[in-house]
């Protein structure tokens, strides 16, 4: 398993292993929320919450929610990249911060 996948946690690890599995001809390219929740080892209610908030890519067919495996893989990769960049940006900012004169940031501080 790639080092980056190990660093990103169990959900990403499951996704990497899920996507690296050989694709069987009869495997559906669209999954139900229950199927994807089982593969990612998260609760169905979490997945439905993500759908309700438009947090993950999904398709609606009437009242049925379907999740395309390839779109979920792309979304997870983009989220992992975004979080990695955010962490890297915070580290860079933390290194550049200097304390205010007198060691206080409150209004009216002297120093």
Region 2-29: mean pLDDT is: 54
| pLDDT at res. 32 | 92
What are the strands of the beta sheet with 64-68, ordered from one edge? 30-31, 64-68, 59-61
On the question of pLDDT at 70 being above 70, the answer is yes
On the question of pLDDT at 30 being above 80, the answer is yes
CA atoms within 13 A on the CB side of 53: 8
| pLDDT at res. 89 | 75
| pLDDT at res. 5 | 47
Residue bearing the bigger pLDDT, 23 or 64: 64
What does the alpha-carbon distance between residue 20 and residue 7 come to, in Å, rounded to a whole number?
17
| pLDDT at res. 1 | 47
Q: Which residue has the tokens 């997945």?
A: 47
| pLDDT at res. 34 | 92
Residue bearing the bigger pLDDT, 44 or 93: 44
What's the pTM? Answer: 0.53
CATH hierarchy code of domain 3-81:
1.10.10
């Amino acid at each position: 398993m790639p080092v980056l996948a190990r660093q990103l946690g169990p959900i990403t690890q499951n996704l990497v292993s899920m996507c690296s599995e050989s694709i069987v001809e009869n495997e559906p390219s669209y999954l139900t929320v229950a199927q994807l929740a089982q593969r990612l080892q998260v609760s169905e209610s979490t997945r439905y919450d993500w759908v309700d908030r438009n947090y993950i890519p999904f398709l609606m067919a009437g009242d049925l929610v379907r999740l395309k495996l390839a779109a979920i893989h792309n979304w997870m990769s983009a989220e992992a990249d975004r979080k990695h960049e955010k962490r890297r940006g915070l580290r860079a900012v933390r290194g550049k911060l200097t304390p205010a004169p007198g060691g206080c940031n409150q209004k009216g501080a002297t120093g």
